Structure 1
Amino acid sequence: MPKDGSTNRARILDAAEQLVIDHGYAATSVDRVLEAAGTSKGAFFHHFDSKLALARALTERYVAADLDQLNAGLDATADVADPAERVIAFLRYYEDRGDEIMGAQSNCLYVAVLTERQLLDAGTADLVRGAVQAWRAEIARLLSAAADGRATDLGDVEDLADHVFTTFEGAFLLCRATGSPQHMRAQLGVLRRLVGAALGVDDRDAARST
């Protein structure tokens, strides 16, 4: 183990994340986290002052990974010259990685955080709002560039940006409810085709990101 105990901290966070997603924050006791992580209370309180501190650290880590996902899609499509084709390539980037996304996480932590009054009052939910706003702003920026000078059926780009984000969240729920990870890829594919039709882009000819 590294001298700074980072492996133990990560193990606690991994265990807590799955428990909070599966059972909610209120039903996830520190003892339950320790049992799942295979560690002691001493180790827990070495890294976290309280259960609330654990929740904040857990949310910070999840948000950072989520924003990394956003930036990965933006970076992978940065060289697509046509703005409308870039939107399609951006959506297809996640569609192509749908199984990978579901393999990394079985559900979204955001719902668990936003439904807990204690976390709302403690400001932890503000981290989630910041991440959601970042996705919304970047997607809206892509859509605005794509719609510029085109006759489209996109409607309000901010509403559509919200729809892109909620498609991810809805797909998580659908995958969880049915026990099949394939819905993530399928729903993102439906979204890509609908946006492509609204932009008048034949996505068979659109640039494909690597």
Structure 2
Amino acid sequence: MPKDGTINRERILESATHLVIENGFAATSLDQVIAAAGTSKGAFFHHFASKFDLAQALTERYVEADIAVLNGALVATSDIVDPVDRLIAFMRFFEDGADELMEEQSSCLYISVLTEQQLITHGTAQSINRAIEAWRHEIVDLLTAAAASAAVDLGDLDALADHVFVTFEGAFLLSRSTGEPSHMRTQLGVVRRLLEGVLRAR
């Protein structure tokens, strides 16, 4: 492998991610990816056996980044002692960063992948499920602690945790459809205020 092999692979993945998010997987050709990455077909096939192999690598890379963002929010709020305050600060972490997120990308790779039945049957959805489960697990822990502290019944915590996750995906769709990126910040704010209202009602 050439000395810049790792860099070249990352450049291909970065370029492909942007193209797939903007255009969809089926509408993104390997020639477009190769041109955007400034590489060659030989270099591409040195790293990826096929377009499906690229899709799997894209998804796994995106999942790792997604879980890293989740962990970043957990670390950023880890010194907050009160469980309710920490949950609200956790939500604000994403709300405050929503505008920057939307400047970086107009949609989510998960949406692009899951609209392609061939990718689902190819197994790429399994990687996305790993991210979903990571978010659910960590948010349920935060919700459990906050509910106990506030002596409030929040109902099905798994479903509520999933609601936080799908708020991101729904906000991406809403922003993409309307051309208004502020929907991400607005929708995250709605969830944060609802949680805050319930947990601090007493």
The TM-score range, normalised by the shorter chain, is over 0.9
TM-score (norm 2): 0.92
Q: Which structure 2 residues correspond to residues 1-210 of structure 1 after superposition, within 5 A?
A: 3-148=3-148, 150-152=150-152, 154-200=154-200
**Percent sequence identity over matched residues?**
61
The TM-score, its normalising length taken from structure 1, stands at 0.89
> Structure 2: how far apart are the matches of 1:201 and 1:51?
52
| Comparing 127-136 and 112-121, the one that deviates more | 112-121
Report the CA distance between 1:189 and its aligned residue: 1.2
Amino acid at match of 1:138: E
Instruction: Mark the runs of 5 or more structure 1 residues left unpaired by the alignment.
Output: 203-210
Deviation at 1:13, TM superposition (A): 1.2
1:3 Cα deviation from its structure 2 partner: 1.6
Question: Partner letter of residue 136 of structure 2?
Answer: R
* Equivalent AA in structure 2 for residue 117 of structure 1: Q
The answer (yes or no) to whether the contact 2:17–2:109 under 8 Å persists in 1 is yes
> Paired residues, what number?
201
Contact 1:153 1:198 in 2 (8 A): no
Q: Could you say if the C-alpha distance between residues 149 and 8 of structure 1 is closer, same or farther in structure 2, counting changes exceeding 3 Å?
A: closer
Provide the C-alpha distance between the structure 1 equivalents of 2:23 and 2:105, rounded to a whole number of angstroms.
15
Q: Secondary structure at the match of 2:152?
A: coil
Give the helix-richer structure, 1 or 2.
Answer: 2
What is the rounded CA distance, in whole Å, between the counterparts of 1:132 and 1:184 in structure 2?
Answer: 18
Contact 2:102 2:181 in 1 (8 A): yes
- Rounded to whole Å, the distance in 2 between the matches of 1:77 and 1:149 is 17
